[in-house]
Amino acid sequence: MSLTHIQSFVAVAEEGHVGRAARRLHLTQPPLSRHILALEDELGTRLFERTPRGMRLLPAGEAFLRHARRILAEVDAAVHTVRGVTAGRQGA
Amino acid sequence: MSLTHIQSFVAVAEEGHVGRAARRLHLTQPPLSRHILALEDELGTRLFERTPRGMRLLPAGEAFLRHARRILAEVDAAVHTVRGVTAGRQGA
DNA sequence: AATGGTTACGGATCCCGTAACGATC
DNA sequence: GATCGTTACGGGATCCGTAACCATT
């Protein structure tokens, strides 16, 4: 499990499409597809249903999505907080 | 920024010592030391003060630690939630 | 010289992109 | 046969561990 995989998952969930998500992430389809497969493998469950149109979230995927967003938001908050602390001490 | 780096940071923060944290993580000192340096580099700030005894958290490090723990807890929660959803649907 | 963190270096592993493939309409 | 996702494969980047180094006591 890596933050990259989580970001990839969120992008695919939001786009419903590996190709579009890949473009959004400045990546090609194969690595992105592998991220999702690795995640599903690690969690032991399918997160998406593969349809002829693209990818649709399964219930496990919807549950994971909520956590995934929180994780990424928390990472952002961590970075901003540290920058804030540093700025408050005039940038050393 | 990676989950591995965050885990490393928490271990060093809790042990106050790269060597002990390394043992706890089943790793050697050099890679662990590099994780911390990479994190500090990426955040643009020192997180620890290097003392002759080991590593002591700086204010930026203390702030980061709170977020780091929340991130790791959230990742755990994500895994457990997905496993729970799957179990509730009799294990597909 | 002992202790603790960091840098050098080499080999294994990982990971991306191109190309080829498989399945569905 | 067009559209999507996935698998094969090769080359570059990453990352660990051993060894050597530097600083403090």
Looking at residue A28, which CATH number applies to its domain?
1.10.10.10
Q: For all residues of chain B together, what is the average pLDDT?
A: 94
B84 pLDDT band (50/70/90 cuts)? confident
Task: Give the minimum alpha-carbon distance from A34 to chain B in angstroms, rounded to a whole number.
Answer: 18
Of chain B, the percentage scoring pLDDT greater than 90 comes to 89
Domain around A50:
3-91
pLDDT (0 to 100) of residue B87 = 76
Report, as an integer, the average pLDDT of B4-22.
98
Q: Is the pLDDT of residue B67 over 90?
A: yes
Low-confidence ranges of chain A (pLDDT < 50): 91-92
Q: Which of residues 12-71 of A touch strand C (CB under 7 A)?
A: 26-31, 34-35, 52
The C-alpha atoms of residue B50 and residue A19 are separated, in whole angstroms, by 47
Quote the number of domains for chain B.
1
Report pLDDT digits (tens) over B35-59.
999 999 999 999 999 999 999 999 9
pLDDT (0 to 100) of residue A49 = 98
CA of A68 to C1' of C4 (A): 38
CA distances from B61 to A32, A45, B37, B39 (A): 33, 36, 12, 11
Closest residue by Cα to residue B13 from B40, B2, A88:
B40
